[in-house]
A and B are shown apart, each in its own frame.
Chain A
Amino acid sequence: MSMDRRDFLKIAGITGLLGAGTAALSGRMPGALEAASTSPNSNALKAKQWAMVIDMRKFKTPDDYKKVIHACHSIHNIPDFGNPKDEIKWIWTDTFEHTFVGQEHEHISEAVKEKPFVLLCNHCEKPACVRVCPTKATFKRKDGIVMMDYHRCIGCRFCMAACPFGARSFNYRDPRPFIKDNNLKYPTRMKGVVEKCTFCVERLDEGLMPACVEACKDTKALVFGDLGDPASEVRKVLRENFTIRRKPELGTSPSVYYIVGGGENAG
């Protein structure tokens, strides 16, 4: 019998390693650390819940879109693999039909039907991606921004399955050789981790508006501000315009609002 028990323990010791052994280990970890964030300076912009209004009436020429996307993708070291399979994108465009799934109908105005809509992470108030992440590598900051810790992410891609907005990209291969102009002030990512728009937390911490918002500040096509502050510009725009959000029925409460416009675009 003793022989059998010894044999058993040998096997159990090896295969049970992931289970009982590691469960005990977790108890010894010092108080779980908050995932990485940059330390804000005194100019840092603060909010209860950051939000964005996308005023589609203000996007008129292809250049209006291009400068917004370029502003983001160039400073954040987004690689260009040249294929949709490996594609990484933080802010991009798609049609009304694909942006507001289920809202389209066959008699929709030609202007809305053809117009590209701007898409990015919705920084939901109740983000499904944060709920499912097994390591808290994606988490919600106190100011409402849904953030990523690229060093903690194990690349399980549960967040990608959970996000109903297709906002997340995965590094299927090493992105570094595919970055055109490397911005040394912003970290590059490694293969095997998920990434997405962060509402430019690194810029907010320095007192700057997100790069995309700054890129179109002359037309105010993107309005950014604190949803918790009744005097903020986003609240003002939301008060004065009819706005919609993507898939509100799913209960994630997106913080990105759209002014669709319509008639005035026809001309």
Chain B
Amino acid sequence: MLDKALDGSKRYWTWILFLLAVIGIGMANYLKQFEYGLGVTGMSRDISWGVYIAQFTYLVGVAASAVMLIIPKYLHDYKTFGKIVILGEFLAISAVTMCLLFIVADLGQPMRLMNVVLYPTPGSILFWDMIVLNGYLFINLLVGWTTLAAERKQVPPPAWIKPFIYLSIPWAVSIHTVTAFLYAGLPGRHLWLTAIMAPRFLSSAFASGPALLILLCLLVRKLSKFDPGKEAIQTLAKIVTYAMIINIFFLAMEFFTAFYSNIPGHMAPLQYLFFGFHGHGNLVPFMWASIIIGVTSVGLLINPATRQNEKILAFAAAGIFIATWIDKGIGLVIGGFIPNPFEKVTEYSATGTEISIALGIWAIGALVLTVLYKIAISVKEETGGEEVH
């Protein structure tokens, strides 16, 4: 089936070349970082994780969202999702690939990566994150490829794949729970030390991932002969709506606990993020943009009239994606380091080199996604998108 990725239009190849160019620039900047060290980034003694770890955290959520298609399709026999479940699985593959690359980009000594395997340390959450992320990548490759191959032959998927499909459900929950535990188990980082960190991660994941899938479905319909179907897109929109409402509710819970208890340590990072702290407030405009865009998008999604208008829906889905990205892809990680253990504020801003490397990794994800979607859609165009049961 890989050959289908090599047979594309001029537009397809132009897009591929564009991505390769972005990857190339990112790669060149990574070589610079590899040579000089992580000092080329905006990270410091106080803000020791930045853009890379924040992107990793956000993309784990995007990856986990495939389960929002798997559960209705395989546990509730919701046939409407039959046509697009592969799009969710392939998005997960692309997202996990980016997660792994962002972790590697963040390492001070990437050549020693294998030390995590050579000296396995089950007490470290990072050890488990390595296992669940790689496992999730493998499961989605296996399930996605096998079911697509069966669809191409117009035969039912082999029976042995079923256990892997069911396994992917708790596994998707595990990747985001374990990633939340990276943060939620650290003493002295008040923004992260919250029992609802994993639930927050999951709610944000089930909003951001399906929101991206809506955009991808609309794009696929525009660019190919394959139509994911209006009903499937509307169901995704409802999933996004519920998940985002829960996500905003959880954020409100954090505010209540911190500010009603009036404990300074708990209030400080939220003050920094949303109101400014000791005269520092680089992220304040971003966090409020996230709130305003998120709430507006939820409003558009709740109202059936606006949700069913696909132009407005695309706008709202993009809004959810951006709002959750600001919240998790910037605020959560940086905010956790501010104030520092001495109650002092060191601000962080990413450098050009750092942003270029991050864009390069996003472009690798986009390339993986493009190739996988090209294959899937070519098969769907041949078969008319109907699976065999």
List of B residues within 8 angstroms of A97 by Cβ: 343
Asked if B108 is at the interface (CB within 8 A of a chain A CB), the reply is yes
- Measured CB to CB, the nearest residue on chain B to A3 is B1
Interface flag for B384 (CB, 8 Å)? no
Q: How many A-B residue pairs have CB under 8 A?
A: 197
- Whether the pair B124, A155 counts as a contact (CB closer than 8 A) is no
The answer on a CB contact under 8 Å between A134 and B126 is: yes
**B2 neighbours in A (Cβ, 8 Å):** 7, 10-11
Cβ contact of A134, chosen from B43, B124, B264, B341, cutoff 8 A: B124
Nearest B residue to A99, CB-CB: B342
A87 to B131, CA, bound (A): 34
Instruction: Return the chain B residue nearest A165 by Cβ.
Output: B341
Please tell me if the beta carbons of A16 and B134 are within 8 angstroms of each other in the complex. yes
CB–CB B108/A173 < 8 A:
no
Interface residues of A in 170-203 (CB under 8 A from B): 170-174, 190-194
Q: Are A251 and B106 in contact (CB under 8 A)?
A: no
Q: Does B224 make an interface contact (CB < 8 A)?
A: no
Contacts of A136 in B (CB 8 A): 119, 121
Output the least CB separation between B138 and chain A (Å).
Answer: 5
Please choose the segment from A18-26, A107-115, A211-219 that sits at the chain B interface, where 4 or more of its residues have CB less than 8 A away: A18-26
Contacts A19-B135, A161-B48; A155 near B342 (Cβ below 8 A): no
Query: What are some 21 contacts across the A-B interface (CB < 8 A)?
Result: A15-B97, A18-B134, A20-B134, A85-B45, A86-B39, A102-B265, A131-B123, A132-B124, A132-B125, A134-B127, A134-B130, A136-B121, A152-B119, A154-B107, A155-B108, A155-B112, A156-B107, A161-B49, A162-B187, A164-B341, A191-B38
Contact of B115 among A16, A23, A135 (CB under 8 A): A135
Q: What does the 1/0 interface line of B25-58 toward A look like (CB < 8 Å)? A: 0000000000011110001111011000000000
B interface majority secondary structure: helix
Interface status of A53 (Cβ within 8 A of chain B): no
Say how far B373's CB is from chain A's closest CB, in angstroms.
15
Whether the Cβ atoms of B118 and A172 lie closer than 8 Å is no
**Which residue of the partner chain B has the closest CB to A24?**
B117
> Given A134-B116, A136-B121, A161-B189, is A173 in contact with B36 using a C-beta cutoff of 8 Å?
yes
Q: What residues of B have a CB within 8 angstroms of the CB of A63 in the complex? A: none
Taking a contact as CB atoms under 8 Å apart, the answer to whether B336 and A15 are in contact is no
Which residues of A lie under 8 Å from residue B185 when comparing CB positions? 132
Say yes or no: is A12 at the interface (Cβ < 8 Å to chain B).
yes
A240 to B37, alpha carbons, bound, how many Å?
48
A157 and B187 contact, Cβ closer than 8 Å, known pairs A4-B149, A86-B39, A191-B108: no
A190 surroundings in chain B (CB, below 8 A): 109
In this complex, what residue of A is CB-closest to B120? A26
User: Which residues B37-88 have CB closer than 8 A to chain A?
Assistant: 37-39, 43-46, 48-49
Q: Which residues of A contact B118 (CB under 8 A)?
A: 25-26, 29, 135
Known: A101-B342, A128-B186, A156-B107. 13 other contacts (CB 8 A): A1-B149, A4-B152, A26-B120, A134-B121, A134-B130, A135-B118, A152-B119, A154-B112, A155-B108, A156-B106, A170-B108, A172-B44, A193-B108
Q: Which positions in A face B, CB cutoff 8 Å?
A: 1, 4-5, 7-8, 10-12, 15-16, 18-20, 22-23, 25-26, 29, 32, 84-88, 94, 97-99, 101-102, 128, 131-137, 152-158, 160-166, 169-174, 190-194, 247, 250-252
State which residues 146-173 of B face A: CB under 8 Å.
146, 149, 152-153
Decide if the interface of chain A is mainly helix, strand, loop or mixed. Answer: loop
Q: Are A193 and B109 in contact (CB under 8 A)?
A: yes
Q: Which residues on the A side are within 8 Å of B337 (C-beta)? A: 161
> Is the CB–CB distance between A163 and B341 below 8 Å?
yes
Contact check, B38 vs A170: say whether CB atoms are below 8 A apart. yes
Distance from B54 Cβ to chain A, minimum over Cβ atoms (Å): 13
Contact yes or no, B109 A154, CB < 8 A? yes
Q: Given the interface contacts A155-B108, A161-B49, does A171 sit within 8 Å of B37 by beta carbon?
A: yes
Per the bound structure, the CA–CA distance linking A57 and B77 in Å amounts to 74
B116 touches A135 (CB 8 A): yes
Separation of A32 and B115 alpha carbons in the complex (Å): 11
Give, as a whole number of angstroms, the nearest-CB distance from B287 to chain A.
21
**Are A153 and B108 in contact, with the CB atoms below 8 A?**
yes
Looking across the interface, which residue of chain B has its beta carbon closest to that of A249? B187
Are B126 and A156 within 8 A (Cβ)? Answer: yes
Given A26-B120, A172-B43, A250-B188, A16-B141 contact (CB < 8 Å):
yes
Q: Is the CB of B341 within 8 A of A166?
A: yes
Given contacts A128-B187, A172-B38, contact A19 B138 (CB under 8 A): yes
Measured between alpha carbons, how far is A155 from B22 in the docked complex, in Å? 26
Closest to A119 in B: B342
Find out whether the CB atom of B137 lies under 8 angstroms from the CB atom of A11: no
Chain B residues whose CB sits within 8 angstroms of the CB of A23 once the complex forms? 117, 131
Q: Distance (Å) between the CB of A230 and the closest chain B CB?
A: 29
Kindly list chain B residues whose C-beta atoms are within 8 Å of the C-beta of A135. Answer: 112, 115-116, 118-119, 121
Is the beta-carbon distance between A87 and B45 smaller than 8 angstroms? yes
Residues of chain B with a CB closer than 8 A to A19's CB: 131, 134-135, 137-138
B17 at the interface (CB under 8 A from A): no
In the complex the two chains form, is A155's CB within 8 Å of B117's CB? no
Residues of B within 8 A of A250 (CB): 187-188
Given A128-B187, A157-B48 in contact, is the A101-B341 Cβ separation under 8 Å?
A: yes
With contacts A16-B134, A131-B124 taken as known, whether A155 is within 8 angstroms of B38 at the C-beta atoms is yes
Report the bound CA distance from A84 to B43 in whole Å.
11
**B145 on the interface (CB 8 Å rule)?**
yes
Question: Which of B2, B93, B185 has the most A CB atoms < 10 Å from its CB?
Answer: B2
Contact of B126 among A128, A158, A170 (CB under 8 A): A158
User: Are A154 and B124 also in contact (CB < 8 A) when A16-B134, A162-B187 are?
Assistant: no
Cα of A111 to Cα of B353 in the assembled complex, Å: 46
Sorted nearest first, the 8 A-B pairs with minimum C-beta distance are A155-B108, A164-B188, A192-B108, A19-B134, A172-B39, A191-B37, A173-B39, A166-B341
